[in-house]
Amino acid sequence: MEIHRFNPPIRTLMGPGPSDVHPRILEALSRPTIGHLDPHFVALMEEVKTLLQYAFQTDNALTMPVSAPGSAGMETCFVNLVEPGDEVIVCQNGVFGGRMKENVERCGGIPVMVEDPWGRAVDPQKLEDALKANPDAGVVAFVHAETSTGAQSDVKTLVGLAHKHDCLTIVDAVTSLGGTPVKVDVWGVDAIYSGTQKCLSCVPGLSPVSFNERAQEKIRDRKTKVQSWFMDLNLVMGYWGSGATRSYHHTAPVNTLYGLHEALLMLKEEGLENAWNRHQRNHLALRAGLEHLGMELIVPEDERLPQLNAVSIPEGVDDARVRGRLLTEYNLEIGAGLGALAGKVWRIGLMGHASRAENILLCVGALGAVLSDMGISVNTGEALSGVQKALQG
């Protein structure tokens, strides 16, 4: 096999992530590597922690990026907070609730599943019923922003119910952080994890997490050792802790952390609320365009995520063919449906740096052009005008 330098094509990334990475962040990745024990790197780690506290809206001291992708962040929460025999209520309304169940089982825990339809928020009433029916449960886990469907759940209400029944909470904020309000302290979330490649617009490979004092207490009081050495927070805390307590654990992914630092700095410069508002405004513009093209968002209006738009594929349209043409003809990536929604929806992301007016116009225009070329009757001009009006509104 003849192997040459890899020259990636220049894509517009409007799938479920990774999203478009800002050039400032790409440039940050290529700054010279320094040692993971270098005083300058230790200072960078402190700044990353501070910036993550801002992004998560928390004062939690234990706030840091796990040195691996979001699914390792999920696993970090479960292996630290679940011990063999523990009952864990998992609310599932998409793919990632299913992964939570897998995690509980692999920790030796007993998952109690609360099922909601794919494309809907988690129903607080069902959670309350489950809490009443399972008084021994100690943890409630759910997904804030279901990347597989575009549904957003009401974290504050769900956490409130869990606490009323003395349960800790684990919240998946992989797709929400930076794109829609995440308020760890105000909502009282005990453990939360996210990803870098969604609304933070950084490259994939890190998973920001945050744990409050109550979660840390549970970890300190464990009867058994955490089953993962790599993810054991008792050890990771020693590494990401401040000053004298810092001890070697693993070699941090230095350059990816340069990227995360730059991404979080950009979020701070824009301001969290401005970022949330931008995601919402652009979501409405995309929605206007898609509706003019005759497509419908599958999630009810008050449960929609602005950054991840699942639209039903028009009748008789070849899913893979359209996505393939968007990619080859316009270098535009949108996402396929996952699991139960495979072949039925497209997932269009407007995350972080990808949440821009020009991307919406490209997406609606390209979809209109390709569908039209495939014999579907659509009025692309009207759709683009709809986008334009919504952006001004």
| Residue (4 or 223) nearer to its own copies, CB | 4
Rounded to the nearest whole angstrom, what is the least distance from the CB of residue 315 to its own copies in the complex? 25
Please state, in angstroms and as integers, the Cα–Cα distance from residue 250 to each residue in 62, 68, 238, 282, 383, following that order.
17, 12, 11, 40, 51
Rounded to the nearest whole angstrom, what is the least distance from the CB of residue 107 to its own copies in the complex? 8
Which segments within 5-46 are labelled E, that is strand?
A: 12-14
Contact between 102 and its own copies (CB under 8 A)? yes
Contact between 239 and its own copies (CB under 8 A)? no
Residue type, 310: A
Contact between 44 and its own copies (CB under 8 A)? yes
**Residues 308 to 327: which contact its own copies by CB under 8 A?**
327
Which residue from 59, 85, 106, 234 is in contact with its own copies, where contact means CB under 8 A?
A: 106
Contact between 60 and its own copies (CB under 8 A)? no
Rounded to the nearest whole angstrom, what is the least distance from the CB of residue 294 to its own copies in the complex? 26
Contact between 225 and its own copies (CB under 8 A)? yes
Contact between 204 and its own copies (CB under 8 A)? yes
| Residue (110 or 376) nearer to its own copies, CB | 110
Strands 62-66 and 207-211: antiparallel
Tokens of 279: 């995601």
Which residue from 238, 253, 294, 314 is in contact with its own copies, where contact means CB under 8 A?
A: 253
Contacting range for its own copies; rule: CB under 8 A; set: 71-79, 157-165, 180-188, 382-390: 71-79
Contact between 72 and its own copies (CB under 8 A)? yes
Compute φ and ψ for 198, nearest 5 degrees. Answer: -110, -110
Contacting range for its own copies; rule: CB under 8 A; set: 209-217, 256-264, 294-302, 372-380: 256-264
Taking the C-alpha atoms of residue 5 and residue 292, their distance in angstroms, rounded to an integer, is 43
Taking the C-alpha atoms of residue 120 and residue 303, their distance in angstroms, rounded to an integer, is 7
Rounded to the nearest whole angstrom, what is the least distance from the CB of residue 167 to its own copies in the complex? 22
Residues 196 and 206 sit within 8 Å (Cβ to Cβ)? yes
Contacting range for its own copies; rule: CB under 8 A; set: 41-49, 164-172, 312-320, 379-387: 41-49
Contact between 59 and its own copies (CB under 8 A)? no
**Max CA pair span of the chain:** 68
Question: What is the per-residue DSSP string for 249-263?
Answer: -S---HHHHHHHHHH
Please state, in angstroms and as integers, the Cα–Cα distance from residue 36 to each residue in 40, 76, 208, 250, 257, following that order.
9, 21, 18, 9, 11
